[in-house]
Amino acid sequence: MSLPTGIRSLKVYGYAILSMLFWGLSFVWFKIVVREYSPITIIFLRLIFSGSLLLLYLWITKNFQKIARADIKWFLLLSFSQPFCYFLGESFGLQLVSSTVSSVIISTIPLFSPVAAYLAYREKISSEITTGIIFSFIGIIFMLINPDLSFTASPKGVLLLFVAVFSAVAYSVIIKKLAHGYHPATIIAMQNLVGAVYFLPLFLFFDLREFLSIRPSREVLLALLQLAVFASTLSYVFYIISIREIGVIKANVLTNLIPVFTAVFSFYILAEQFTVAKVIGMAFVMAGVVISQYRSIRQNMRRRSA
């Protein structure tokens, strides 16, 4: 028996908001786990556990697909951009920059994806996208620079976070070649497991001895489990459901909630301070993302009402 349209719509939006909540919390959970484990260990364990859970999900639902030989190179490149380069940039950047500022920088990914689409596929860049990019950069400047022009955050950390942003943008270009041929959960499972293979030499060479000597606290183990289950697995499953039901455009606009969730939970869990400049900067960045998506949302709503 199918649910009434209104209830079904609320359920789908609930899934979308949950995925944003988990991604927002991931910045907080990482700050807890990194107290005892290095970023490489965190990423490696997170990818192994998440990839295994997704394989189990695909096996239970009978949705797993065999990878075509011609697509292997694209999966290898996909995993190199994300999770490998993305998580290296994000994780090491998070060590140097606050959770809230990090999540706001990461939330600019939808702004730069159209630029990559133009370079790769010659898709037109609208005036709204250009305006959105300008707004977001103004917001980031508000958060990163004091009135005396000194930095409030590590420039190196900010640069690393933008490595993550541009890795995700490259990922969005590559995934376009695979999205129509494979179930989304298959893509995510493969990218996580191949990514774990990329991280394995780094883990063995740099972190294995330290990993074996650590006796993690219950708080760290719980945060690591939450990263793997909620941020790397359930969030993607819920996001896939929301994309399928409400479309990419509306789902991407909801990513504006990620910095909000991160800021709130960073305040309560990590005692991270709010400043007027930080709040103004967040508002500018989120406004920029909304402006960049405005035309697409309007066109999509017209098509649905027609």
Q: How sure is the predictor about 5, in pLDDT bands with cuts at 50, 70 and 90?
A: low
Q: Rg for the chain (alpha carbons), in Å?
A: 19
pLDDT higher than 70, residue 107: yes
Query: How many domains is the chain partitioned into structurally?
Result: 1
What average pLDDT does range 27-40 have in this prediction?
94
Which 8-state DSSP code applies to residue 122? -
Q: What is the pLDDT of residue 123?
A: 64
What average pLDDT does range 98-109 have in this prediction?
85
Give the structural domain span for 119: 5-305
pLDDT higher than 60, residue 6: no
Lowest pLDDT segment from 140-144, 257-261, 295-299? 295-299
Give the up-direction half-sphere exposure of residue 129: CA atoms within 13 A in the CB hemisphere: 15
Q: How sure is the predictor about 8, in pLDDT bands with cuts at 50, 70 and 90?
A: low
Lowest pLDDT segment from 59-63, 133-137, 227-231? 133-137
pLDDT tens per residue, range 250-281 = 666 677 778 888 888 998 898 887 778 878 88
pLDDT higher than 70, residue 302: no
d(CA 115, CA 134): 13
Q: How sure is the predictor about 67, in pLDDT bands with cuts at 50, 70 and 90?
A: very high
Exposure string of 46-82, with b = 16+ CB inside 10 Å and e = fewer, is: bbbbbbbbbbebbeeeeebeebeeeeeebbeebbbbb
pLDDT higher than 50, residue 1: no
Q: How sure is the predictor about 4, in pLDDT bands with cuts at 50, 70 and 90?
A: very low
Q: How sure is the predictor about 109, in pLDDT bands with cuts at 50, 70 and 90?
A: confident
What average pLDDT does range 122-135 have in this prediction?
75
H-assigned helices in the chain: 5-33, 39-61, 72-79, 86-94, 99-106, 109-121, 127-144, 155-175, 184-202, 208-213, 218-226, 235-246, 248-253, 257-269, 276-305
Report pTM: 0.82
